[in-house]
């Protein structure tokens, strides 16, 4: 027999809490943003065009203790809002298309603005993803909610994003869970120079851990990573090229369902 709906809901909430705790444990080595203003952090994209009211909101929120966490499950196209580890709201979202996937990982809200731009609905919350401009925002295309329809951002119904905007403080943690392959997201893409995505960041981490890569973990496949990939593949008897293919993932220890 299938479990009752309330049992399934409790199982889902427990599962989401475990994911948040796991991500939190994995990031203990990272220096928290804490008292650091994002304008001093080169990895944070700070957007211009804020009103005085938005800037005042950020200053007030920066002084508050952050008791909120957001988890976005790309399997369900759902955003979960927690307060003191208790689920208080959940909202459907639109996520990135297959060709422009949403960024998997642990991020922070580094910017908040009202009516940020055309097509972004009534509220914008920018994330500190180093390889591009991504955020949680409203939309003028509510029919896209629940689908893979965006350029990587997380679209919400305007009434939902306004409610979320009013609750979460500046620097709120946003955990994006990507699918069955954990930090790799939902697929093992063949990578090449110029790519910008979560898979690149994961390969950079593995190459750095093995002593081949000394650059930033920024999710951008540049020349430094290219040299590291070529050296790694040569020393592990793989094809002599710069592509990160299935054999390269396997040699790096990046496997499905790890």
Known catalytic residue at 242: no
Catalytic residue (one of 37, 68, 89, 137): 137
For 28-43, b where at least 16 C-beta lie within 10 A, e where not — what string?
A: eeeeebeeeebeeeee
Pairing of strands 78-83, 134-137: unpaired
- For residue range 21-51, list pLDDT tens digits in order: 555 544 443 333 333 333 333 233 333 344 4
- For residue range 105-118, list pLDDT tens digits in order: 999 999 999 988 88
Catalytic residue (one of 37, 68, 89, 153): 153
Q: What is the CATH number of domain 187-252?
A: 1.10.101.10
Rounded mean pLDDT, 209-231: 97
- With cut-offs at 50, 70 and 90, classify the pLDDT of residue 96: very high
Instruction: Indicate where the chain has its CATH 1.10.101.10 domain(s).
Output: 187-252
Helix, strand or coil, per DSSP, at residue 232: helix
Which pLDDT does position 258 carry in this prediction?
Answer: 44
CATH superfamily of 5-177: L,D-transpeptidase catalytic domain-like (2.40.440.10)
Q: How many helices (H) and strands (E) does the chain have?
A: 6, 10
Separation in Å, CA 201 to CA 144, 155, 192, 197: 28, 24, 13, 7
Has residue 132 got a pLDDT over 90? Answer: yes
Which residues contact residue 248 at a Cβ distance below 8 angstroms, ignoring those fewer than 6 apart? 203, 229, 232, 233, 238
Known catalytic residue at 137: yes
Specify the range with the lowest mean pLDDT, choosing from 60-74, 145-159, 172-186.
Answer: 60-74
């Amino acid at each position: 027999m299938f479990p009752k709906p309330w049992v399934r809901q409790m199982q889902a909430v427990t599962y989401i809490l475990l994911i948040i705790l796991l991500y939190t444990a994995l990031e203990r080595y990272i220096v928290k943003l804490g008292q650091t203003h994002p304008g001093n952090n080169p990895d944070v994209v700070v957007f211009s065009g804020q009103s005085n009211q938005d800037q005042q909101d950020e200053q007030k929120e920066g002084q508050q203790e952050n008791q909120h966490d957001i988890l976005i499950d790309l399997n369900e196209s759902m955003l979960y809002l927690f307060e003191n580890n208790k689920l208080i709201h959940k909202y459907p979202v639109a996520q990135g298309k297959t060709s422009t996937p949403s960024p998997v990982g642990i991020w922070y809200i580094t910017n908040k603005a009202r009516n940020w731009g055309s097509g972004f609905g009534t509220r914008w919350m920018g994330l500190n993803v180093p390889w591009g401009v991504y955020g949680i925002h409203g939309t003028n295309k509510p029919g896209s909610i629940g689908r893979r329809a965006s350029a990587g951002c997380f679209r919400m119904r305007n009434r939902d994003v306004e409610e979320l905007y009013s609750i979460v403080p500046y620097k709120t943690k946003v955990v994006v869970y990507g699918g069955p392959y954990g930090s790799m997201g939902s697929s093992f893409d063949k990578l090449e120079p110029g790519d910008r995505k979560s898979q690149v960041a994961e390969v950079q981490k593995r190459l750095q851990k093995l002593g081949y890569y000394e650059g930033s973990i920024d999710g951008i496949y540049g020349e430094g990573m290219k040299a590291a990939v070529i050296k790694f593949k040569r020393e592990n008897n793989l094809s002599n090229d710069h592509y990160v293919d299935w054999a390269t993932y396997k040699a790096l220890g990046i496997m499905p369902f790890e």
